Amino acid sequence: MSKHYRYLLTLVALLCIGALVYALCRGKDEAPSGPFHSVGRAAKIHPDYSGAVIPANIAPLNFSVEEAGAGYYVKIYSKQGPQIELHSRSGNILIPQNSWSKLLKTNRGQEVRFDIFVKRADSGASSQSEEGLWSRFDSVVNRIAREDIDGFLVYRRIDPVHSTWKKMGIYQRDLQGFDESVVLDNGYYGGGCLNCHAFCNNRTDKMLIGIRSPKYGSSALLVDGGAASKIGTKFGYTSWHPSGRVAAYSINHVSQFFHTARDEVRDVVDLDSLLAYYLVETGEVKTTPAIAKKERLETYPAWSPDGRYLYFCSAPKRWTDNAAIPDNYDQIKYDLVRISYDVQSDTWGELETVLSAQDTGLSILLPRISPDGRRLLFCMCDYGCFPVYQSGSDLYMIDLTAAKKNGRYEYRRLGINSDESESWHSFSSNSRWIAFSSKRKNGVFTRSYISYLDQEGRVCKPLLLPQKDPSYYNSCLWTYSVPELVVERVKLRKEGLGRVVRGPAKTPVDFPVTRATPKAGAASPPESSYLTERE
Amino acid sequence: MAGSHRKSSRGGALVQETADADLGRDRDAVIGASIFFLAFYLYLWLYVDLRLIYHGGGIIANFPVFFRGWAFFESFTSYPGGLVEYAGAFLAQLFYYSWAGALIVTLLAWSIGLCIGYFFRVARAPGLRGLRFIPAILLLVIYSRYTYRFTSILALLAALSCVCLYLKVTAGRKLSCIIVFGVLSAILYYIAGGGYLLFAAICAIYEILMRRRWPMGILYLLSGAAVPYVEGVLIFGVSIINAYSELLPFSWKIVDRVTHEETFDVVYVLYLLVPLAALGLGLRRRFLTTGAGPAEHRGSRAKRRSKAKHPKLLTRIRLLYTGKPKFRWIVQSLVLLAVAGGAVFASYSGKRKIEFEVVYYGSAKMWGRLLRSARGHPGNHRVTNAVNRALYHTGRLGYDMFSYPQHPEGFLLTAERFKVASWDRFEMRIELGLVSMAENDLAECMGMFGKRPAILKGLAWVNMVKGSIGSARIYLGALGKTLFDAGWANEYLDRLESDPSLSTDKEIQRLRSLCVAKDHSTVFSDNEQAMLALLEKNSTNRMAFEYMMSWYLLTKQLEKFVGNVKKLNDLGYSEVPGLYDEAFFIYAYSTGKSVELEGDWGSPKAGPRIEDFTRIFKNYGRNKDAAFAELAKKYGDSYLFYNLYEFSGVKN
Asked whether residue B336 carries a pLDDT value surpassing 60, the answer given is yes
To probe the interface with B, which of A495, A499, A500, A534 has the most B CB atoms within 10 Å? A495
Distance from CA of A47 to the nearest CA of B (A): 14
Contact state of A265 with B518 under an 8 Å Cβ cutoff: no
Asked whether residue A2 carries a pLDDT value surpassing 90, the answer given is no
SS3 A161: coil
- Statement to judge: residues A274 and A245 lie in one domain: yes
Residue A200 domain-assigned?
Answer: yes
Write the CATH number for A302: 2.120.10.30
pLDDT band, residue A533 (cuts 50/70/90): very low
Structural domain total, chain A: 2
**Single-letter amino acid, residue B613:** F
pLDDT at B629 (0 to 100)? 93
Which range (A29-43, A109-123, B17-31, B565-579) has the least confidence? B17-31
- Statement to judge: residues A376 and A348 lie in one domain: yes
pLDDT tens figures, B65-97: 999 999 999 999 999 999 999 999 999 999 999
pLDDT at B556 (0 to 100)? 95
pLDDT band, residue B1 (cuts 50/70/90): very low
Domain end, chosen from A79, A109, A144, is at: A144
Mean pLDDT of chain A: 89
Domain end, chosen from A144, A176, A203, is at: A144
Q: Please name the residues in contact with A91: beta carbons below 8 A apart, sequence gap of 6 or more.
A: A64, A65, A66, A67, A69, A72
Chain B contact present for A44, CB below 8 A:
no
pLDDT at B21 (0 to 100)? 58
For A344-359, b where at least 16 C-beta lie within 10 A, e where not — what string?
eeeebeebeebbebee
Cα distance between residue A92 and residue A116, in whole Å: 12
CB contacts under 8 A, A 266-285 vs B, are 266
Cα distance between residue B541 and residue B545, in whole Å: 6
Cβ count near B311 (within 10 Å) = 7
Distance from CA of B518 to the nearest CA of A (A): 6
pLDDT at B586 (0 to 100)? 92
Q: Please name the residues in contact with B562: beta carbons below 8 A apart, sequence gap of 6 or more.
A: B583, B584, B587, B595
pLDDT band, residue B16 (cuts 50/70/90): low
Cα distance between residue B429 and residue B423, in whole Å: 11
Choose between A236 and B9: higher pLDDT: A236
- Statement to judge: residues A461 and A340 lie in one domain: yes
From residue B149, how far is each of A142, A329, B41, B134, B340 by CA, in Å? 53, 46, 17, 16, 19
Domain span at residue A56 reads 37-144
Is cis: bond before A47, omega within 30 of 0? Answer: yes
By C-alpha distance, which of A224, A169, A190 is closest to B240?
A: A190
- Statement to judge: residues A166 and A127 lie in one domain: no
What does the pLDDT average to over B94-113? 97
Cα distance between residue A515 and residue A233, in whole Å: 10
- Statement to judge: residues A120 and A180 lie in one domain: no
Residue A123 domain-assigned?
Answer: yes
Residue A106 domain-assigned?
Answer: yes
What does the pLDDT average to over B380-396? 94
Residue A188 domain-assigned?
Answer: yes
Cα distance between residue A535 and residue B455, in whole Å: 20
For B278, which DSSP code?
H
Contact state of A164 with B444 under an 8 Å Cβ cutoff: yes
Residue A73 pairs with which residues in a beta bridge? A87, A117
- Statement to judge: residues A108 and A232 lie in one domain: no
Cα distance between residue B587 and residue B549, in whole Å: 14
Residue A159 domain-assigned?
Answer: yes
- Statement to judge: residues A403 and A433 lie in one domain: yes
Residues of A in contact with B71 (CB under 8 A): 469, 472
- Do strands A447-452 and A463-464 pair parallel, antiparallel, or not at all (unpaired)? antiparallel
Cα B278–Cα B280–Cα B283 angle in degrees, nearest 5: 105
pLDDT at A451 (0 to 100)? 98
Cβ count near B324 (within 10 Å) = 12
Cα distance between residue B153 and residue B168, in whole Å: 22
Q: Please name the residues in contact with B255: beta carbons below 8 A apart, sequence gap of 6 or more.
A: none
- Statement to judge: residues A268 and A379 lie in one domain: yes
pLDDT at B173 (0 to 100)? 78
Contact B597, B564 (CB under 8 A): no
What does the pLDDT average to over B290-314? 52
Choose between B368 and B13: higher pLDDT: B368
Burial of B245 (0-12, 13-18, 19+ CB in 10 A): buried
What does the pLDDT average to over B561-569? 90
Contact B535, B545 (CB under 8 A): yes
Chain B contact present for A265, CB below 8 A:
yes
CA closest to A474 among chain B residues: B474
Among A257, A443, A469, the residue with its CB nearest the CB of B471 is: A443
Distance from CA of A188 to the nearest CA of B (A): 5
- Statement to judge: residues A267 and A119 lie in one domain: no
- Statement to judge: residues A122 and A166 lie in one domain: no
- Statement to judge: residues A171 and A247 lie in one domain: yes
To probe the interface with B, which of A260, A262, A469 has the most B CB atoms within 10 Å? A260
User: For B387, phi and psi rounded to 5 degrees?
Assistant: -65, -45
Q: Which long-range contacts (CB under 8 A, 24 or more apart) does A502-507 make?
A: A502/A188, A502/A189, A502/A190, A502/A216, A502/B241, A503/A230, A505/A229, A505/A230, A506/A219, A506/A229, A506/A230, A506/A231, A506/A232, A507/A222, A507/A229, A507/A230, A507/A231, A507/A232, A507/A283
pLDDT band, residue B169 (cuts 50/70/90): confident
Which range (A93-102, B320-329, B380-389) has the least confidence? B320-329
Asked whether residue A128 carries a pLDDT value surpassing 70, the answer given is no
Q: Please name the residues in contact with A516: beta carbons below 8 A apart, sequence gap of 6 or more.
A: A251, A252, A253, A270, A271, A272, A273, A274, A322
Residues of B in contact with A262 (CB under 8 A): 436, 519
Mean pLDDT of chain B: 88
SS3 B220: helix
What does the pLDDT average to over A83-108? 95
Cα B6–Cα B12–Cα B16 angle in degrees, nearest 5: 145
Write the CATH number for A108: 2.60.40
From residue A176, how far is each of A54, A56, A74, A153, B180 by CA, in Å? 12, 9, 21, 10, 42
Selection from B1-15, B77-91, B305-319 with the highest mean pLDDT: B77-91
Residue A176 domain-assigned?
Answer: yes
Q: Please name the residues in contact with A288: beta carbons below 8 A apart, sequence gap of 6 or more.
A: A348
Residue A513 domain-assigned?
Answer: no
Asked whether residue A529 carries a pLDDT value surpassing 50, the answer given is no
- Do strands A266-279 and A447-452 pair parallel, antiparallel, or not at all (unpaired)? unpaired
- Statement to judge: residues A194 and A303 lie in one domain: yes
Residue A267 domain-assigned?
Answer: yes
Quote the pTM value.
0.90
Contact A47, A464 (CB under 8 A): yes
Contact state of A161 with B533 under an 8 Å Cβ cutoff: no
pLDDT band, residue A124 (cuts 50/70/90): low
SS3 A395: strand
Domain end, chosen from A120, A144, A168, is at: A144
